[in-house]
Amino acid sequence: MAHMLGNLLLFVGSDAYNEYGHALTSGKIIYVAEAALIFSLLTHVFMGMRLTLKNRAAKGARYHVQASGEKKVSWSSRTMVFHGAIILFFVIYHLITFKFGTYYETTVNGVVMRDIHRLVVEVFANPAYVAGYIVCLILLTAHLSHGVGSLLQSFGLNSRAHEKKRQAISCLYALVVGGGFIAQPIYVYFMN
């Protein structure tokens, strides 16, 4: 349950982050949001790994052959912990590049602030960065496509009549978030 709640926070939190981070606004609220975000991220990572370890133990030995026919299940659901981990590295690396990256200053309307725009443009001028980002973001999409549906299911927000809707919402959300993020590096790369 705690795991689920942690995830929920993250889920809500990451939305808050998106607004915050990418709107480039500032103020006190940032730090609160930041703290909540970091906390929930860490909780999520911790719980996710613990859950996976516990579940592995519950399984014991693995099968010699994996289901391949009618009964196989979605790839993303089986591999949450792997793309989860890659996303984590992505986030860390991402923070290193941006948050703790080169500090440019600029003055807008008389206020001195960090010129994040310049950094972004610089970074995404490098095609390797762009490719790496895109791969990671695709994984994020996969992670979310299962994750959000799973979240709904875990909170019991599902019933026979809504099963299709649940899957659709999950997919849609993942695509919007994933697609939205993917669009940025591509846009920056090609526009500059």
Interacting residue ranges for other proteins, rule: CB under 8 A: 1, 51, 54-74, 77-78, 80, 146, 149-150, 152-160, 162-163
Apex CA 103: angle with CA 178 and CA 16, to 5°? Answer: 35
39-140-10 Cα angle (round to 5): 25
- Asked if 121 and 192 count as a contact pair (C-beta separation under 8 A), the reply is yes
Instruction: Give the 3-state secondary structure of residue 108.
Output: strand
Residues in the chain, overall count: 192
Give least dist CB 46 to other proteins, A: 15
Tokens of 171: 């997919």
Min dist. Cβ of residue 65 to ligand HEM (A): 24
Q: Which does 158 bind (CB under 5 to 8 A by kind): other proteins, ligand HEM, none?
A: other proteins
Binding site for ligand HEM (CB under 6 A): 4, 7, 10-11, 14, 17, 21, 34, 44-45, 48-49, 51-52, 80-81, 84-85, 87-88, 91, 94-95, 98-99, 116, 120, 133, 137, 140, 143-144, 147-148, 150-151, 154, 181, 184-185
